Amino acid sequence: MPKKVAFLTAGGIAPCLSSSIGALIERYNELEPDAILSGYLNGYQGLLLGKSIQFSDQVKENYEVLFEFGGSAIGNSRVKLTNVEDCTKRQLVQEGQDPLHVAAEQLKADDIDILHTIGGDDTNTTAADLAKYLEDNGYGLTVVGLPKTVDNDVFPISQTLGAWTAAEQSALFFENVANENTTSTRQLIIHEVMGRHCGWLTAAAARDYRERLDGYRWLPELNITRERWDVHAVWIPEMELDLESELERLNAIMDEHDCVNLFLSEGAGTDAIIREKENAGEELRRDAFGHVRLDELKPGQWFADKLKESLSADKVLVQKSGYFARSARPNSRDLELIKQTAAAAVTAAIAGQSGVAALDMNEGGQMSIIDFARIA
């Protein structure tokens, strides 16, 4: 009997989801050409509701098309299978049902042998919960995850899929935005970059942007200088910010160059913002995983309000590169890693080994199948 293989993508999108599906199809075509492939629509939501699509021979033959697109060809959602209250409220399960059991029974009803989950830490910790439930209850199904997140913050994985591309695209985004420094005197530009708990993407975007500046020609006589277009500050969640000394430094830059360019990780300072808003009686919405919705928290605007007076800025501009960066198709470097990861994932799945296929920092950065219990 041919193996039945299902895919699902979940969480926020990243520049690797459609391409990961394409790479998995490519590998199954080589190793298990008779495998019946399908995708659950909109991640764990589709799994709970039994909504899926079987991949036709045309899809299997034209998998390379998926390398040309960002987003997910089978859709995403944020669903935590152990959050019974949320799943019930969203009518993904009936009152009194256990979402893990519903998911397991759906996989059984669909005769799925292998499930591939493509997502970040939340997706893969949910996959871990599901894999454990399946094993503990004798369902005999293999679950192999692929790690995607633009934040590059899944432990113990040294490089997640899509992060390199997101950094490159964030740099490209700011390459245009930086020209706004010519529209006003004493201009503050805040480039808000994705990253709730991790500043990797913000730092990598700043690095990539500064490397792009290496290829510029300058005209100091008309005040077109590297100093004005440069990155003047990078604020990330991991750093302890001495705001007083930082403001003194940035004021000196503003006085000399008439502008300040700040790369801000959206997670930097969020604890202070949350405290301020909740102390003011404001109720903050959270997602299924308990995270405050950063698009409503607006950390860039919060800092803009705080910094405008401190820097005597005549104009403040907040620009977010998040959707621009995370929606891109993968660059060549990411696509190579996606294919390498998919190859390891399929080999493990056929062998019946569950886990997350990824570069394991505990194994010298080598491609490994990491036990779900180690993912954080």
Indicate which residues carry an active-site annotation. 151
Q: Are 48 and 79 contacting, i.e. CB atoms less than 8 angstroms apart?
A: yes
Which residue shows structure tokens 């008309």? 222
- Two tokens, residue 174: 């700011």
Q: Are 159 and 337 contacting, i.e. CB atoms less than 8 angstroms apart?
A: yes
State yes or no: cis peptide before 156, omega within 30 of 0.
yes
- Two tokens, residue 47: 């799994």
Give the span between the Cα atoms of 148 and 127, in whole angstroms.
13
- Two tokens, residue 263: 């790369």
Burial class (CB in 10 A: 0-12, 13-18, 19+), 295: exposed
Q: Are 228 and 258 contacting, i.e. CB atoms less than 8 angstroms apart?
A: yes
Give the span between the Cα atoms of 343 and 358, in whole angstroms.
11
Phi-psi category of 242—alpha, beta or left, where left has phi over 0 and alpha has psi -120 to 50? beta
Give the span between the Cα atoms of 172 and 213, in whole angstroms.
11
Phi-psi category of 372—alpha, beta or left, where left has phi over 0 and alpha has psi -120 to 50? alpha
